[in-house]
Structure 1
């Protein structure tokens, strides 16, 4: 088996995390252009969980639990995360290092979206519009196993 074949089979596994790769993406009620548009996303890098594949279409779930079909061309494998916060209302602390004892750099509002790095020991590197630091994994939707 070549590494290209191994990568192709790895890409076929669901569920997996993806992110919206455009500033306008339609979510449809079925896997095709003829199906009604149920929702229009206008959030670049919004994390979604891909639950199923059907040709070029992906059944996705968004952070609110809404499910529908999106074209693969509208998605990226670049990992991102949505800040949840405690109870969905409290500001979330971003630290200089992967520890609550490290200096706090920023307070992030729930609903903010950032590019996600590799999470380790309950902490994730996150870049929210150039504000970089570490956030507790439990405060993020899109981190961890899909």
Structure 2
């Protein structure tokens, strides 16, 4: 359609009176045709961008287009700020200097399709329904990231559905968190296995987490989402 409209305009120019001005009717036809060409080009560009934005699933496509905004109301600006602040620890986007693999990130969306390969042509292997769940990136291919969860399950997710926000999940049994990084410190709360919290800092054998708006320290080997030798604040 785009090419037919373009040839129509060319024909109008070629068949106007030689050396003379175009008729009013020709002017009108050319204007209409040019407007249609511009509209067609806009539609073609929009369709390509939408297809490249991320996963083809109905909910995931909307989330990818809004840079990870989901039903919880978290906007693109907030998510982008969090990613920028934690880029050195949980980078998920594109950059000339990429941190090494593997690395931990988290689920940005409340619903994430994970596929058997890096593209929408691959079938969905699992759907995660938990925002902030920690996952480990083990490989990259263009806009896709191969991730692994706490149970060892692997698959590919679009990078727009992941966040540099660092989180961890309680493992093993009910764990105690303290007001400072020491076993003889004051206990602040107890968390069951599967509880997810934001990781604020790690030093030596301890990590500080934010769980239910309470910041407290837990032993590093009692959570999954940080590496044994990873210290940050």
TM range (shorter): 0.7 to 0.9
User: In structure 2, what is the equivalent of residue 144 of structure 1?
Assistant: 227
2:138 aligns to what SS in structure 1? strand
Offset, 1:12: 5.0
Contact 1:92 1:109 in 2 (8 A): yes
Kindly indicate whether residue 128 of structure 2 is the aligned counterpart of residue 45 of structure 1: no
So what's the TM-score if we normalise by structure 2? 0.56
Q: Structure 1 pair 12/137, CA: closer, same or farther in 2 (3 Å)?
A: closer
More displaced, 8-17 or 119-128? 8-17
Structure with a larger share of its residues in helix: 2
2:95 aligns to what SS in structure 1? helix
Offset, 1:125: 0.5
User: In structure 1, what is the equivalent of residue 113 of structure 2?
Assistant: 26
Q: Which has the higher contact order (CA 8 A, sep 6+)?
A: 1
Offset, 1:13: 2.5
User: In structure 2, what is the equivalent of residue 117 of structure 1?
Assistant: 200
Unmatched 5+ residue regions in structure 2?
1-93
How far apart, in 1, do the equivalents of 2:180 and 2:99 lie? Answer: 35
How far apart, in 2, do the equivalents of 1:9 and 1:104 lie? Answer: 44
How far apart, in 2, do the equivalents of 1:12 and 1:106 lie? Answer: 34
Unmatched 5+ residue regions in structure 1?
1-6
User: In structure 1, what is the equivalent of residue 24 of structure 2?
Assistant: none
Offset, 1:78: 1.2
1:138 aligns to what SS in structure 2? helix
How far apart, in 2, do the equivalents of 1:91 and 1:12 lie? Answer: 33
Q: Which runs of 4+ in 1 moved over 4 A?
A: none
How far apart, in 2, do the equivalents of 1:42 and 1:142 lie? Answer: 18
How far apart, in 2, do the equivalents of 1:106 and 1:16 lie? Answer: 28
Q: CA RMSD in A?
A: 1.6
So what's the TM-score if we normalise by structure 1? 0.88
